[in-house]
Every structure is written in structure tokens, then in C-alpha cells.
Structure 1
């Protein structure tokens, strides 16, 4: 299940929660842009006993290899696929793997890995499940709107 909307300080955000366990989720927030080519945003993952945040993910606007086009391709393939499909930022600090599940659901495993090369680096992952059709399409559209700074 996904939710779009504004957080407490009225800054746009996109939140997706797992259909199987609403306490598991990921949120995209704190979007900022210094030019027309890229945006910076924060990503937070939550699960029972886990809360982690990546402060500076980067999206390249108009790049077919970025997150929004990846999610749109998954949504367009609602009849399923074999194996795992993966995407990650250029800095490898945010990654998602997608697996088609029986019953028409997509399992999305989101991994945050800030400071990958620093001593004491860490990673955190959560898995969300969405209906492969309309839920995936709506989520993909919400991410595109968020990254491009448009109201959805």
C-alpha cells in the first residue's frame, strides 16, 4: 500500500507501506534541487526495530536509467517476469530489487548503504509488497511527480 502526501512541515513526500505489514515502509522526502538536471532527496526505511535514513540520494531528471523509469517499466510489466530486476543510484547508496510474486504482487526490497567506503559503514533493507497493476503504476507516477517537483 502506498500513500502520497505532505509530511508535518508540508514538504512533499511519497510513502509506501507493505501490504502485509503496515509498520514496514519506505518514504521519499526532503526534495531539493539546485538546477534542472538533478534533485537531491532523503530516503527513510522503517520496520519493527529499524529506522534508517539516507540524506542525499541523487536523481538525474530525464535519465531513463533513474528510479521513476525503472518503476514505470515494472508497472508496465504487470503480467510478471522471471528472476530479479535491480536498480541503484549512481553512488550505489540506494538500491531496489524487484521480484514478481504469485498472485500478481511485486516484492520490492529497498536497501540503503550510505558511506559504503567509510569504516563503520552500514546498510539497512526493508521489503514491501505491492499489487503489480494499479498500485505499482500509481506508485511509479507518484515517484516521478515527487522527483520532478510536480504536484500529483
Structure 2
């Protein structure tokens, strides 16, 4: 937990971006923010999510460590667009880090993000669970490497 508090403090230095002009851009901007550790802080929800002003997330105590990701094309219907993102996770079998969600052999996961239009900009409906952190970001934050 102490390491994640440190990660959150470091993540606080990341800058927020404005809402996106397309569903694809909404997903890509959010993932850039998230993979750089942005969700490990008290972050600007309304820049990325279509949520009520009082929205908050739980205090995450675990993260997924991501090797790579790829977003598919947006599929739109009735004012909602879905973008499926394929994540490849870092193998964690040799890690002793309790803050990392176990992906012993690495592996992959497909996560569907839903974007909605609000005031001419696209925002996501959800952050989709525990934060995903790029391996390179995690290595910089921990300074030990993985």
C-alpha cells in the first residue's frame, strides 16, 4: 500500500487533457493518462468520464502491469460507441509485489470501453476497474525494475 501511495504522489504530477473530439480519441487519451499512472491520484474525472460532479473511485490498492495495448475501431450505435482494447500483461510469477494483480504468465485481456457524446465532446462511461499501468511507468516509479 505504501508503494501505491508513492505512485499516487508521483502520478499527481501528470497533466490532465481535455475531453476528446472522437470516441477513438477519448479512449486513447484516457489510456495515455492511465498508463502513465494518472489514476493513482485524485484525478480529474470529468476530463475523461461522463459522471456526476460528486463521482469518486475506490482507493485502488492493486494495479495491472501492461506490456502493450491496442485499441480496435469504434463501433457506434444510438449515440454510444464501443472500443475494444486488447491488453498484454507483464508476467508476474517472479514478482513479490503485492500491489500487482497476478498475471503469472503474462497473458492478455480484452476490455470494452464505452464512449458517449456530451456537449460536442466524447467521454467514457467507466474507467473499467483497477488501474492499468505501463511496465515502463511502473519501473520508473519503483526504481528497482520488474
**Range into which the TM-score falls when normalised by the shorter chain:** 0.3 to 0.5
TM-score of the pair, normalised by structure 2: 0.33
Pick the structure with more strand per residue: 1
TM-score of the pair, normalised by structure 1: 0.32
Q: Which has the higher contact order (CA 8 A, sep 6+)?
A: 2
Pick the structure with more helix per residue: 2
